[in-house]
Chains A and B, each alone.
Chain A
Amino acid sequence: MSDATLDMPVGGTAQRAGNEPLVAADGTPLKQKLAQTTRRMKLRALMLTMPLVLFVLIAFVAPIGDMLFRSLYNPTGSNVVPAFAEAIQQWDGQDLPSEETVKIFVEDLAKARRSREIGRTVGNLATRLNYELPGYRSLVTKTARRAARITEGPYKEALFAIDKRWEERIVWTTLQRITKDYTLAFYLAATDRKYDADGSIVQADELYRIYVPILWKTIWVSALITALCFIIAYPVSYLLSTLPLRISNLLMILVLLPFWTSLLVRTSAWIAMLQTEGVVNNIFVYLGIITDESRIQMIYNLQGTIIAMVHILLPFMILPLYSVMKTIPPSYMRAARSMGASGTYAFMRVYFPQTVPGIAAGTLLVFILAIGYYITPALVGGNDGLLISNLIADHIKKTLNWSLGAALGTILLVVVLVFYWLYNKLVGVDNLKFG
């Protein structure tokens, strides 16, 4: 500021005449000066957020981008049989590949058999082929064992002698496809589809259609959990919002305690509650509802998963509902009643519509959280309580089909982001609060 005053031009305030624009102390037009200052302030605000934005970009967005990339990029084929991977692309897909191409394939296989490098062994190629053609794993491993012994042509006949399946065209079209580095095959697999011999997309065999049903199941289970949470949370939130602050704060602790308690603690608590020798079964036996012999299996199945997840996600429904209901003046209901509306009518026409923002916030949040849940289904889900997240984790940690896991993850991510966008539109992220 002091600099500006020192070299203040002559044309400051004194000489302003006619239509000359207003100027700031340093001679720049006021409008321009204002724009400058605003820009600087904007930049300063932006600079404050930059460290965190960069951190989140590197530590969070980049990993997710990496996952998207790996769902499309799988270089197994060109890693194991590099020369063949180039040669086979010339093939037009009719009959069988040329003798020359098959020769390269045999040589590549023999070389790959000696490789011990991770990701470049015959086993990798065999597994990759097996994803596309279930049961064909042995074809590659068996052929690779004998490939070194084939020293002269005709190479095709030599392969046919090892295994009849080399005469099938689909083996070669599949090999042609999986030796390309970029592929949509894992998205097809994740949506229960596959390529046929001619490269067109068809439905997978009945037996292998598992992912789409699980995705639908995840969605309806999440919807059911959301609905149950809503039904349970609504009366409680109403009670909390109408009680005097002193009492409602005390009761709020009962809601917040589960919210603050470790997820694992709550899941183990539900195992203790619901197992066949657990508290709930004991109560039923005491009450004579069931006999000691016919105790109900309530955990390690879908039912147990739903009960535990409703309990875990309930605070996320109660808190937004409560914060909206607290702002509704009780006099509105009294006014409706005094003008002759019945209790139900006043509730439906006056009270309920005012709680809709809270309902939108609560249901969307619970649904978003439920759809990606992993720990609770993994621990108490048994076999029929498994959700899509469990399949993703299995592909990453157990079967090691990383690309398929990544493709399933991407599909789940898209579903979640659609609901997140909806949440942003309807509720706004700024309105997220705890306690």
Chain B
Amino acid sequence: MKLSQRIQSNGFYVFAAAVVLFALYTRSWAGTLGFAIIFGIPLFAMGELPPYATRAQKIGKYAYLTICTMIFIFLVLPILVIIPLSFNAEPYFSFTDGMLALDSAAYSLRWYADIFRFGMTAPDAIEGWWADMWANATWIRAARNSFFIAIVSTALATGFGTLAALGLSRPEMPFRTAITSLLISPMIVPLVITATGMFFFYGGTMQGIIPGYENGLANTYLGLVLAHATLGVPFVIITVTATLTGFDQSLIRASQGLGANGWTTFTKVIMPLIIPGMISGALFAFITSLDEVVAVIFLADVDQRTIPRQMFSGLREQISPTILAVATILVIMSILLLTTVELLRRRSERLRGLSPG
């Protein structure tokens, strides 16, 4: 159906009348926009129904699409809502009247500035501002901790995980189910239990075992890196094994038959094929570590606080829109990561000839 035809259809008139009535009744542009989105999108998504479709079928399909629209809104609205809220000029978590009236005075960047200034010894000094911010600003220090722990643990998880996935996807692998179950279990076992165990083991039992860590691994970076690497392992295993299904094992034999040794076979034949899976597994492990907070609560001291740990105490103690500003930055980062993984997945499917696109 052409757009012009659809606009002429009865449904559109009903919809337009409803929107106008709604606008007159509530007198709020935000409300009307929401109403138009919820009931308008299904109207345009109806598509072509067979000419013999009854009115009940049409209404049924419209109702179904409306429900789906609402579910999609339920999925993304909470995440999108925090973006405008982070520009709030007032120290609240809610929309002020000024914000709804699109008054530019009701918006400000003060909470973004606060990310850098909070915790600094002299936030208004001009000399030494950068050094002070880098060393003392609470959120910046948390970000440094987060990234350091995430990068090291991702490297560990990806290295070990890829190797193990290569073994697991060989057809002659013994005890495959048992070993896979074991390696996936860090994702399944509740984080509180993992963290409790690590709190006992790293903090107590490990005392005096590793040289240089006489007081155990609690309150150390090493402990957190080990914990997060463990939690990232299942994601690497899952994504890399997924890339390896449908991997033609005869390629390995072909390369060996042509005289390549194990290392050459790995770097020249296996690696190029599984690299998309490795990268998405690494990204999963990275985001898991960046997002993880339970192990940090149990194992970290103030010195090792990460971004989510800082958000956790912020949400418990003093709720300030700085958290929303940080959250907005994290959302943008997840969008970038998501896009990367999606592109990699398509590339991998194309490489393995699973899909044309």
Give A residues with C-beta under 8 Å from B: 38, 41-42, 44-49, 51-53, 55-56, 59-67, 70, 232, 235-236, 239, 245, 249, 251, 253-258, 260-273, 275, 277-279, 282-283, 286-287, 311, 314, 368, 371-375, 379, 389, 392-393, 396-397, 402, 405-406, 409, 412-413, 416, 420, 423-424, 428-430, 432-435
Give B residues with C-beta under 8 Å from A: 26, 28, 31, 34, 64-65, 67-68, 71-72, 74-79, 81-82, 85, 92-95, 156, 160-161, 163-164, 166-168, 170, 172-175, 177, 179-186, 188-194, 196-202, 204-205, 226-227, 229-230, 233, 235, 238-239, 241-242, 280, 284, 287, 290-291, 293-294, 297-298, 308, 311-312, 315-316, 319, 323-324, 327, 330-331, 334-335, 337-338, 341-342, 345, 357
Q: A370 → chain B, closest Cβ, in Å? A: 10
Q: Can you report 29 residue pairs joining A to B where beta carbons are below 8 Å apart? A: A44-B167, A46-B173, A48-B167, A49-B164, A52-B183, A53-B179, A56-B186, A56-B233, A63-B201, A64-B193, A67-B201, A239-B64, A255-B75, A257-B76, A264-B308, A264-B327, A269-B79, A269-B81, A279-B94, A286-B28, A287-B26, A311-B74, A379-B316, A389-B192, A396-B298, A409-B197, A428-B177, A429-B181, A432-B184
CA distance A263 to B74 in the complex (A): 16
CA distance A38 to B197 in the complex (A): 39
**Chain B positions within 8 Å of A278 at CB level:** 93-94
Q: Are B184 and A46 in contact (CB under 8 A)?
A: no
Q: B293 → chain A, closest Cβ, in Å? A: 6
- Secondary structure class of chain B's binding surface, majority of residues: helix
CB closest chain-A residue, reference B228: A59
Q: A149 → chain B, closest Cβ, in Å? A: 36
CA distance A267 to B197 in the complex (A): 26
Q: Are B190 and A59 in contact (CB under 8 A)?
A: no
Q: Are A49 and B167 in contact (CB under 8 A)?
A: yes
CA distance A253 to B80 in the complex (A): 14
| A42-B78 contact given A63-B197, A420-B188, A429-B181, CB 8 Å threshold | no
Partner of B357 from A55, A66, A235, A245 at Cβ < 8 Å: A245
Partner of A63 from B166, B175, B194, B337 at Cβ < 8 Å: B194
Q: Are B92 and A277 in contact (CB under 8 A)?
A: yes
Most chain A beta-carbon contacts within 10 A, residue among B186, B280, B319, B334: B334
Using A70-B200, A256-B342 as known contacts, list a sample of 7 further A-B pairs with CB atoms less than 8 Å apart, ordered by residue number in A. A45-B172, A47-B167, A235-B67, A257-B76, A275-B93, A282-B95, A311-B78
Q: B273 → chain A, closest Cβ, in Å? A: 16
Q: A311 → chain B, closest Cβ, in Å? A: 7
Partner of B72 from A49, A251, A269, A428 at Cβ < 8 Å: A251
Q: Are B230 and A409 in contact (CB under 8 A)?
A: no
CA distance A429 to B201 in the complex (A): 28
**Chain A positions within 8 Å of B34 at CB level:** 283
| A262-B190 contact given A51-B160, A267-B315, A311-B78, CB 8 Å threshold | no
**Chain B positions within 8 Å of A409 at CB level:** 192-193, 196-197
Q: Are B79 and A60 in contact (CB under 8 A)?
A: no
CA distance A67 to B197 in the complex (A): 5
Q: A218 → chain B, closest Cβ, in Å? A: 10
| A424-B181 contact given A48-B164, A262-B291, CB 8 Å threshold | yes
Q: B99 → chain A, closest Cβ, in Å? A: 11
Partner of A45 from B31, B161, B170, B188 at Cβ < 8 Å: B170
Partner of A435 from B79, B167, B342 at Cβ < 8 Å: B342
Q: B353 → chain A, closest Cβ, in Å? A: 16
CA distance A62 to B226 in the complex (A): 13
- Secondary structure class of chain A's binding surface, majority of residues: helix
Partner of A42 from B172, B205, B319 at Cβ < 8 Å: B172
CA distance A12 to B189 in the complex (A): 56
Q: Are A52 and B68 in contact (CB under 8 A)?
A: no
CA distance A435 to B179 in the complex (A): 24
**Chain B positions within 8 Å of A402 at CB level:** 200
Q: Are B71 and A232 in contact (CB under 8 A)?
A: yes
CA distance A397 to B297 in the complex (A): 9
Q: Are B342 and A253 in contact (CB under 8 A)?
A: yes
Partner of A374 from B191, B201, B315 at Cβ < 8 Å: B191
Q: Are A53 and B191 in contact (CB under 8 A)?
A: no
**Chain A positions within 8 Å of B202 at CB level:** 63
CA distance A46 to B238 in the complex (A): 18
**Chain A positions within 8 Å of B334 at CB level:** 257, 260-262
| A52-B200 contact given A46-B167, A282-B95, CB 8 Å threshold | no
Q: B168 → chain A, closest Cβ, in Å? A: 6
CB closest chain-B residue, reference A314: B75
Q: Are A434 and B235 in contact (CB under 8 A)?
A: yes
Q: Are A66 and B163 in contact (CB under 8 A)?
A: no
CA distance A45 to B174 in the complex (A): 8
Q: Are B315 and A430 in contact (CB under 8 A)?
A: no
Q: Are B324 and A261 in contact (CB under 8 A)?
A: no
CA distance A418 to B57 in the complex (A): 44
CA distance A14 to B308 in the complex (A): 74
Most chain A beta-carbon contacts within 10 A, residue among B67, B75, B94: B75
Q: Are B192 and A372 in contact (CB under 8 A)?
A: yes
Q: Are B293 and A273 in contact (CB under 8 A)?
A: no
Q: Are A273 and B160 in contact (CB under 8 A)?
A: no
Partner of B82 from A53, A269, A429 at Cβ < 8 Å: A269
| A271-B342 contact given A56-B183, A59-B230, A236-B71, CB 8 Å threshold | no
**Chain A positions within 8 Å of B238 at CB level:** 432-434
Q: Which 6 A-B pairs have the closest CB atoms?
A: A372-B190, A48-B167, A63-B197, A63-B201, A269-B78, A52-B164
**Chain A positions within 8 Å of B78 at CB level:** 266, 269-270, 272-273, 311
Q: Are A263 and B190 in contact (CB under 8 A)?
A: no
CB closest chain-A residue, reference B283: A260
CB closest chain-A residue, reference B287: A260
| A46-B201 contact given A265-B331, A375-B293, A412-B193, CB 8 Å threshold | no
